[in-house]
Amino acid sequence: MKLSQASQRWLIQIFQSQSAAKGGVVRRHKRDIMRHIGWENFCQELDRRGFHAVENANQIVIFCNQEPIKIIR
């Protein structure tokens, strides 16, 4: 994954947020992910970290831990 410095900073900012650092969740608009790092790079980073994400209404919710996800309804 070869990213520009600006894209790398954007990605680092997501995963260094307080919520992410505590194993919580962070949310980003899909358009922003596509614009800053691209979908494939995003998916590769999730795989590298062992994290999961879900999409709803163009919002991506990233679970910053390796716990299983259970859809309630």
Interval 12-53: pLDDT, tens:
999 999 999 999 999 999 999 999 999 999 999 999 999 999
In a domain, 42, yes or no: yes
Choice between 69 and 2, residue whose per-residue pLDDT is larger: 69
Residue 1's pLDDT is what? Answer: 67
Is position 1 within any domain?
Answer: no
User: Does a structural domain hold residue 67?
Assistant: yes
In this prediction, residues 46-62 reach a mean pLDDT of: 98
Provide the pLDDT confidence category of residue 2 given band limits of 50, 70 and 90. confident
Using a cut of 0.85, tell me whether the model's pTM lies above it.
Answer: yes
The domain tally of the chain equals: 1
Residue 58 above 70 pLDDT? Answer: yes
The parent domain of residue 46 ranges over: 25-73
Contacts 24+ apart (CB under 8 A), 20-27: 20/62, 20/64, 21/64, 23/64, 23/65, 24/64, 24/65, 25/61, 25/62, 25/63, 25/64, 26/61, 26/62, 26/64, 27/59, 27/60, 27/61, 27/62
